[in-house]
Amino acid sequence: MGTAVLAVAAVVAVPAASAAPETTQVRLITFNDLHGNLEPPAGSSGRVTLPDGSAVEAGGAQFLATHVARLRGEVENSLVLSAGDNVGASPVNSALFHDEPTVEFLNQVGVSASVVGNHEFDEGFAELERMSDGGCHPVDGCQFRETFPGADFEQLGANVTHEDGRPALKPFDVQNVNGTRIGIIGATLEDLPSVVAPGAIEGLKFGDEVEAINRTSQALDAIGVKAQVVLLHQGDGTDGGGPDDCKLTPGPAAEIAKASSPNVDLIFSGHSHSQYNCTINDPAGNPRQLLQGASYGRLLSVADLEVDRRTQDVVRAGIKARNEIVTRDVPADPAAQALIDEAATKAAPIANRPVGSITGDLPRAGAPSGESPLGDVIADAQFEATAANSPQVAITNPGGLRADLLFPGSPAGEGDGVVTYGEAFAVQPFGNIMQTMTLSGAQLKAVLEQQWTPEETNVLQVSAGLHYSYSASAPIGSKVTEISINGQPVDPNAPYRISVNNFLAGGGDGFTEFTKGTDIVGGPVDLDAFLAHLNAHPGIAPPPADRITALP
């Protein structure tokens, strides 16, 4: 009898000695704000700043795909995710085809889920649905390929509803990874209406991010999904630093991270095009990672999780997260390269057409005052293009300038200083409509004062006739002085004709004073205004930064 007991004990003891690991390793690979950048982005948009201030070239879909494949190969249980703005404000080789090539690339690299960013709404909700479900464009048809199958991944928005409260998008997705369920919550920025043309989001509402995350987290918990991550299309700025530094400037993402449910194990963010890897305590006082991977496919935010097989929850202390540079010293992924070549070939007849010339770089980065060479040129172009509306000044938003205009020639071989349609399109890709309105001098000053908020500074770019000074140390609302148009002081009670794009006219970027404009008259598309200016002024030189004066 004793011998039998010993034998049974021996049989039982063998599996215990070789028991399977108690956790399952899951790798999450996330990028954000790709904006259709299939080819390696140029200039500062194609570099990553390192901790010592030096920079390395990065980005390009063919290299991003190679890095993703390697990262997935290292960990069997891997998911690829996106924190939004996959499309919109895209280079011409994607935008000409309504970003269908970019969606095909996302399918190629195996994206499982993405939160919607503000730019997913650039062409309206119906177009966002087409991007998801497939089908040819209702006006242009299928121009890239004969058919368009749509996205293989879910597009999430827990805080996006119709006006009657019905969800407009799925709030979450659940991915089963080797028996482990990972809940993925998507939340976009609550103030999305301030950065999208009003007509594009008509009938939609955007709720508080924290409320949506917490509500969705509770729903996941109720169905037994304990491992939870958030894709948040909202971000903070930084005061320098490398990819894994945490030098945040005050902003919404960190505040959202502090307030979101302790059940959430990790937060990937986007929107601000920043690079950071931060540890921020959740409401229960436990440390939690908040990451963002710059933009344009230059960084991959990688998080390795250990999921307890018994509780199905993430072992928070075991999370290892980093931002990895998408270097260009790896072989190009063949499938991605073939897609890029196809898009470039089909777009080339339009993209490589010369449309003007410049004598030096026109960067978006400005003088200490915030005035930039490219901003000056664009504002002047919009002033000229609306001449029939008798404007006295044109004003444009810096966020509408999406790429530097650089003097060196591109690989297409057009030559130094030659501006191609594709390069001009990259600068002004939104297709905003110019409008001219009447504002009083007092309202114009109010517009200029709205460049400063407690959260950020957003310096508008102005045409040559407008000059003003501002004091950086003065209180918000009282910074601007010495406003003049064509050398004459602005009279607070006098009417002035101001040309802006329809995004600003609708109060975009928080410039709500523009919504008080009267006698509004339409004009051309902003890109057409820029093209006309390039054609009329060959050899444009970088203008002096003398329109805006910064005082102590």
Alpha helices in 416-492 (DSSP H): 421-427, 441-449
CATH 3.90.780.10 maps onto the chain at 355-551
pLDDT in tens, 31-53: 999 999 999 998 888 999 999 99
| Among the listed residues 67, 137, 126, the one whose alpha carbon sits nearest the alpha carbon of residue 99 | 137
Report how far residue 271's alpha carbon sits from residue 294's, in angstroms, rounded to the nearest whole number.
Answer: 9
Quote the tokens at residue 301: 């935010």
pLDDT band at 496 (very low <50, low <70, confident <90, very high): very high
Q: Which CATH class is domain 20-335?
A: alpha beta
Residue 232 has pLDDT above 80, yes or no: yes
Inform me whether the pLDDT recorded for 1 exceeds 60: no
Architecture in CATH of 355-551: Alpha-Beta Complex (3.90)
- How far is the C-alpha of 503 from the C-alpha of 188, rounded, in Å? 19
For residue 12, pLDDT over 60 is answered with: no
Sequential DSSP letters for 286-354: -EEEEEEE-STT-EEEEEEEEEETTT--B-GGG-EEEEEE-BSSSPPPHHHHHHHHHHHHHHHHHHT-E
226: pLDDT strictly greater than 70: yes
Helices marked H in 456-512 — which ranges? 502-505
The predicted model scores a pTM of: 0.86
pLDDT tens per residue, range 147-188: 999 999 999 999 999 999 999 999 999 999 999 999 999 999
CATH 3.60.21.10 residue ranges for the chain: 20-335
pLDDT, one tens digit per residue, over 335-355 is: 999 999 999 999 999 999 999
For residue 10, the model assigns a pLDDT of 37
Question: Mean pLDDT over residues 198-214, rounded?
Answer: 95
| Least confident among 195-204, 278-287, 312-321 | 195-204
Q: Which residues contact 106 (CB under 8 A, 6 or more apart)?
A: 82, 86, 114, 151, 152, 153
Average pLDDT, the chain: 94
- Per residue in 483-495, pLDDT tens? 999 999 999 999 9
Give strand pairing partners of 237.
none
416 three-class SS: coil
